[in-house]
Structure formats: C-alpha cells, structure tokens
Amino acid sequence: MAGDDYRIRPYRPRDRAGFLSLYETVWGHRKSRDWFEWRFQSNPYSDRVEMVVAETDDTMVGVEPLLPFRLRVGDRRLAAYQPVDWLVHPDHRRRGLFTRMTERLLARYADDAALLFNFPTDALLSGLESFDWRVVGDLPTSYRVQNPRPLVADAVGPRAEKALSPAIRVASAATKRGLALLDRYNVPATDYTVEAHDRLPVETVERLYAGTAPTAIHVPRDEPYLAWRFDNPHWETTTYVATADGDPVGSIIAATERRDDCTTAMVLDCQPMCDDRADVIEPLLVRFVRDNRDADVLKAPGWYAPRLRRRYGFWHDSALAVSRFPTISRATVRPLVEDLDDADAWLLDGRRLTDRASWRLTLADLDIE
C-alpha cells in the first residue's frame, strides 16, 4: 500500500471503538470503554482526547496518544505531555506511519506544553531518538514475589509448567513460609498509627504533599491529579495514612490489579516523596504487605528506601527479567522547542533534563494502565 493511501489526522469522538480494537490486536488483551474514558477523556488538564490517528479506508491503523500532565520544579509549574499507547497495526508497519504521525504530533502540540516525557520500550526508543528524544536514565521497580507460580509459568511455558506443578507447589509453600517468618521478625516499633481508606482521602494526601514537596522535577499532587489518576476502573485502590497524635504524617496509595492469572498489588504513590523518612514509610509498608498476603506479587518503586524494601523481601527488577514483570527501565524526554541544539533547551530551572537525579517519579507517574 502506498504512503498516500494513509490519512494522518487528529482524534475524533467516533474513534474510540477503533482505538480499542487496534489496542487488542497489537497487545493481545482487551481494554474496556470505561478504561478509555478514564485514561483519555477524564484527564483534568484537557477537555479533549489528545491523539494523532492514521487511517486507511476508514479503518484506524495507527495512533499516537498523549496524556496531559503538570510538572513542578521548585515553585515553577508547567504543562507537559506523556506519550502513551503508541500503536501501529502489524499489517501496516514499515510504511512510514510512525514518522508521519510523529511529525504531525510535534507540529500540532509544539505550542501547548514545555516538554514530552515518557517510558518507551526498546522497540520504540530508536524511533524516538530519530526525533531528538534523549534518555534520562533507568527507573527501576522492585518486586516481592509471594507466589512464584505465575513467574515460573511465564518463564517455562504452559507445557513445562504442568510437568513442574508438584515442584511449583512446594516452592510456593516454602516462599510463603519464608516471607511469613521475615514479616514476623521485621515488625517495627513505632509511634505511628496506620489507617486504611477505601476512598482516596484527596485533601489529606494533597496536604502531605504540600508540606514535603521535593525540589526535583516531579508531578505535583494537586486535587485534579489525585482525583483522576487513581480512579482507574481496573484498579482496587486503598490509601494507607500514618498519623502521629492524630495528625497525618505519611501515606501510601496502593492498587490491586488482576490480569490473566496473576494478582499484583502496587505501591503507586508515597508521601513524603523523599526517601529519608523510612521511620514514616515502614509502618505503612508493613500494613500494605499484611493486607496483600494473598497477592501473587507486590510491586513498589525501585529507588525508594532500598534498605527498607530489602528487609521486607522486595527484589530489584533486574533479578526478575521475565515478561510477566516488565522492567520500566528507561525514561526519555524531549523539550518542545525549535532549537534542540541549544544546551539551555535541556535545562529546567537549572536542572538538566537528561540527569536522572533531576527527577522524582513514582509508579503513579509512569505509563501504567
């Protein structure tokens, strides 16, 4: 098919069904209408779906969506976009659609935000680099495997899993016993009380953030962001709040997601966002672990309080290099300016955009679904 047979255009409201169909074709699993409405239509920073579409014969064959975000560094706040779910139908690849869509996207959104930041796969990275994206660095994730069966099944395949099922049962039982002993040994002495909330206490988390906001580049925890980001219809969300003498001093926002035969409980957000308050975070982590003993896997930011995480059985993602636990290994950034050869284009309030230490991000800020 010739390149002229494709049309590149902005998203229209009637495109939702085509997007969901294309998503299922490319990724092999289905997303719901409610998920699409949450992810793209309910974003508090735009009243439209930000997306570039490629079509042929009235059929959607490529998409490049953006999620509007706000970033903060010091006292400065600025608009940004996060590219997510960039897809090209397998039958229409290597025909220049990525190039044409990205050219259209950069021209369309150049005046609307300061920069783009995202977390591409290896396959996407080379294409982005041809459009002047630069790598920031690794953003590791840590995992506590409480039931090794999904991990083993992913690594060896269904036939071998069946043959190994007796050994897997023994390994699962041993893992649970070992983690139970670890948890009993690690019960902290603390003056903090931890309360669990099924509904996100937006004002509490917002106040905690306001009092301890990091100076690095980060996503501010304002009310619009909190109310939107944690309303994913595919998550069951719990917020843990630590109090001292009745006053909130820290929080963890956790979510449980079930996909295929694996249940994952995730620490999406933690306040304070600085990693030198282990005394506050430890009782919150203990409660999170206790409440999610039946989950197959627990997941947390890899940079946060590494000694504390190791004490509670969390492993760095590099030790679990299987597709069941994809490593969000790389952040990239691209300023939306004309002269990208100007060194100042890659600075934000004196912080170098390509320096990992310039950023402070949690799992909630990454491209998770």
Among 181-185, 279-283, 346-350, which range has the highest average pLDDT? 346-350
**What is the average pLDDT across 325-340?**
83
Residue where a domain stops, chosen among 298, 319, 340: 319
Angle subtended by helix axes 122-129 and 97-109, to nearest 10: 60
Q: Are the CB atoms for 54 and 100 separated by under 8 Å? A: yes
DSSP secondary structure letter of residue 92: G
Are 310 and 265 in the same domain? yes
Q: Give this prediction's pTM.
A: 0.90
Q: Identify whether 325 is part of a domain.
A: no
Does residue 335 register a pLDDT over 70?
A: yes
Are 203 and 247 in the same domain? yes
Are 44 and 64 in the same domain? yes
Q: How far apart (Å, rounded) are the C-alpha atoms in residues 216 and 41?
A: 29
Are 90 and 7 in the same domain? yes
Does residue 182 register a pLDDT over 80?
A: no
**What is the average pLDDT across 43-64?**
97
**What is the average pLDDT across 239-268?**
93
Using 50, 70 and 90 to split pLDDT, how confident is the model at 321? Answer: low
* pLDDT at residue 201, as a whole number: 98
Q: Identify whether 107 is part of a domain.
A: yes
Q: Are the CB atoms for 293 and 146 separated by under 8 Å? A: yes
* pLDDT at residue 175, as a whole number: 74
Length of the chain: 369
Does residue 161 register a pLDDT over 60?
A: no
**What is the average pLDDT across 168-192?**
71
**What is the average pLDDT across 200-227?**
96
Mean residue pLDDT across the chain: 89
* CATH number for 311: 3.40.630.30
Are 24 and 151 in the same domain? no
Tell me which amino acid residue 138 is.
Answer: D
CA angle 103, 104, 108 (to 5 degrees): 120
Domain of 303 in residue numbering reads as 141-319
